[in-house]
Amino acid sequence: MTPNFADLVRSGAPHTPLAGERAASIAASALNDERFIPRDATKLRVADGITVMAGTTPRAQKPGVKAIEPRSILTIVPAVRYAAGFRVYGQGSHAVISIANNGVVVGALRRWRTASEAERVPTIITSEQARESIERQLRPMTLAEGTKATVDKIDIAYYDANANYLQPVYRFEATITPANERVSPIKVAGYVPLAKELEPIPDLSRKPEGPAPRIPKQDSRQNGTGTPDDISLGEYANQDWPNDSGYVSMSNSFLRGLTFLNGFFPGITPPVNRTQWYVAYPWEVVGPSSKYFMNAVDVAYTVPHGDWLINTTKSNNADFWDVRNIGTGGNPGYGAAAGGVLATWVIMSCEVIPSMYDRQNESGGLVIRTPRLTRGGRCSRDSTMRLDSARSCFIQTTTCSLASAWTRQ
Amino acid sequence: MSAHVRIKFLLIAALACSWQCSTSAAQTNAIRFAAEVPRAPEEMQVFKLTPSRPPLVFLNEKLRQAKLTPLKAEGKAFMAREASSRNSAIGCVRSWIRKAETRN
């Protein structure tokens, strides 16, 4: 059950978001409703609410639509699951309730299987082996000279693959700090199995499955835009993809998100064709060749790493493209006016397009306490890895500023 | 193999080994632990997962409260369609759940 933002913006509901306690109380009542999440051997806790803002902008094609300034329209309250006292992470065990400002539940999502106690298993890993496994998983991310990783947190937890088991694991979080200070540090999270694996547990250094990105020929004129009825998608994986599976995984997750509903209800959303699946280079984005790459697809998806107005294409320290080079050096820009088709560009990276708040914060004009808005704020690899549907992508975009979406209509 | 060739071979192997070791040490130094690995219990509980039943009654109640169309059976799923968007390829579904949930 997905909230309709257009309806909520136009509704007569109060303009101020629900107080934290009231939102938590309504969400707790819904999340503890056995008709939504059946009681089982695990426990559920209500997390802090996330306020979402929305507004409207008038379009030339629809005169009469008035602009509405962005304001809070709903609060999303997630559930956090605990098994045997340990927090559950993974693809499963996710549920959220969205509450409008008048207290009405306008959204509910659930990916939550019922758990029952199975056997008790011996833990087979020592602390030293766990450290070695964490180092092995982080090593590919520190190959670039001067890049450092700090393991900030290690917890005992359970992993839910949304399949058959909740399995005990060590879950770790680390901060990867590139040598180049212009590139933001990133947060990554991973797992080390505590017992014999009953089903696969993600490993950061495991090679991704599925087709690998190809090396494009510069100035290639072979890159079509798919059939006229399809939405064409271009995805460009960082050149370091053989060492870091995240680039390919997040691209594949985005594609899966776009094609997800069609898998159940064929024809319900327009077909999406990944017509370009290439290793990333700056000339695909800026320069004259970009018309055969970025501007030859309806939707473009580029991956980390970034900082204000720049984005790397090789690891986290080299082969940058720069937003300020769009429209210069033979690049005419994007979209129909520039002789192409690009309509939406999803920049899955930190801070590439700084917001007004970012700039105001840097100039010292405003004290902003939310970490997502401060310069040097971290983005979480764990969150980006969970972008398995367009819906969650939207939530991440609006709540964590993980992805900067730049759309030209 | 002459002694001269053997010494050469050993020298090359030692150089390769020292390069490998220094690279590996540098990579390890690039990783710092600011957190300890907690001690795990000797044995832990595994949980078996099974698909949860579709939350049809719950969702319909919430849809009605929000003055939205409730879910109706349609093929292998329960769907809620709005009259104004029946023919639209995008946006005709605001809520849906699978009737037979094999994967939750």
Q: Per the domain annotation, does A223 fall within a domain?
A: no
Band of pLDDT at residue A199, cut at 50, 70 and 90: very high
Number of domains in chain A: 3
For position A375, what pLDDT does the model report? 28
Task: Summarize pLDDT for A204-255 with one digit per residue, the tens.
Answer: 888 878 889 998 887 665 554 445 668 899 999 999 998 888 899 889 989 9
For position A168, what pLDDT does the model report? 98
- Residues A255, A397: one domain? yes
Tell whether B90 lies on the interface with A, counting CB pairs under 8 A.
yes
- Residues A363, A265: one domain? yes
Q: Which are the contacts of A54, defined by CB distance < 8 A and separation ≥ 6?
A: A5, A8, A9, A70, A71, A73
Provide the H-helix boundaries in A99-245. Answer: 127-138
Record: contact B93-A143, CB cut-off 8 A = no
């997630």: which residue's tokens? A78
ipTM exceeds 0.85, yes or no: no
Q: Which are the contacts of A49, defined by CB distance < 8 A and separation ≥ 6?
A: A18, A20, A23, A24, A27, A75, A76, A77, A99
Poorest-confidence range of A203-217, A321-335, A365-379?
A: A365-379
Distance CA A277, CA A213 (A): 5
Q: Per the domain annotation, does A235 fall within a domain?
A: yes
- Residues A372, A319: one domain? yes
Rounded to a whole number, what is the distance in angstroms from the first to the last CA of chain A? 28
- Residues A297, A159: one domain? no
Q: Of A111, A140, A165, which closes a domain?
A: A111
Distance in Å, alpha carbon of A316 to nearest chain B alpha carbon? 15
Q: Which domain holds residue A69?
A: 5-111
Percent of the residues in chain A that have a pLDDT greater than 70, as a whole number: 82
Give the residue from A32, A33, A113 with the most B CB atoms within 10 Å of its CB, the best one to mutate. Answer: A113
Identify the top-confidence range among A244-248, A257-261, A372-376, A394-398.
Answer: A244-248
Average pLDDT over residues A294-309: 90
Strands A231-237 and A299-302: parallel
**A108-147 residues touching B, CB cutoff 8 A:** 108, 110-123, 125, 127, 130-131, 134-135, 138-139, 142-143, 147
Integer angstrom CA distances of residue A330 from A221, A338, A368: 17, 11, 39
Number of residues assigned to chain B:
104
Q: Give chain B positions within 8 Å (CB) of A191.
A: none
- Residues A148, A73: one domain? no
Contact B37, A155 (CB under 8 A): no
> Is the predicted pLDDT of residue A87 greater than 80, yes or no?
yes
- Residues A140, A13: one domain? no
Give the global pTM.
0.71
What is the DSSP track for A313-327? EETTTEEEEEGGGTT
The candidate with the shortest Cα–Cα distance to B65, out of A5, A109, A108, is A108
Question: How deeply is A304 buried, as exposed, middle or buried, from its count of CB atoms within 10 A (0-12, 13-18, 19+)?
Answer: buried
Q: Per the domain annotation, does A264 fall within a domain?
A: yes
Poorest-confidence range of A18-27, A51-60, B22-31?
A: B22-31
> Is the predicted pLDDT of residue A349 greater than 50, yes or no?
yes
**Which DSSP helix (H) or strand (E) runs through B6?**
helix B3-29
**Which DSSP helix (H) or strand (E) runs through A235?**
strand A231-237
Average pLDDT over residues A106-118: 94
For position A366, what pLDDT does the model report? 39
What is the DSSP track for A47-68? ---EEEEEEE--BTTBTTPPPE
Band of pLDDT at residue A332, cut at 50, 70 and 90: confident
For position A409, what pLDDT does the model report? 22
Closest residue in chain B to residue A39, using alpha carbons only: B52
Q: Per the domain annotation, does A302 fall within a domain?
A: yes
Q: Which are the contacts of A28, defined by CB distance < 8 A and separation ≥ 6?
A: A46
The token pair at B18 is 């020292």
> Is the predicted pLDDT of residue B103 greater than 70, yes or no?
no
Q: Where are the beta strands (DSSP E) in A57-164?
A: 68-83, 86-90, 94-100, 105-111, 114-122, 148-160
- Residues A158, A45: one domain? no
* Residue A45, φ and ψ in degrees, nearest 5: -125, 150
Q: DSSP 3-state helix, strand, coil percentages of chain B (rounded to 5)? A: 40, 25, 40
Q: Per the domain annotation, does A206 fall within a domain?
A: no
* Residue A20, φ and ψ in degrees, nearest 5: -50, -45
Tell whether A318 lies on the interface with B, counting CB pairs under 8 A.
no
Q: Of A55, A82, A111, which closes a domain?
A: A111
A146: left (phi over 0), alpha (psi -120 to 50) or beta: left
Q: Give chain A positions within 8 Å (CB) of B51.
A: 113-114
Task: Summarize pLDDT for B69-93 with one digit per residue, the tens.
Answer: 888 887 777 877 765 544 343 334 4
Helix, strand, or coil (residue A223):
coil
Tell whether B26 lies on the interface with A, counting CB pairs under 8 A.
no
Strands B93-98 and A165-177: unpaired
Average pLDDT over residues B2-22: 58
Query: Does residue A15 have a cis bond before it (omega within 30 degrees)?
Result: no
- Residues A235, A167: one domain? no
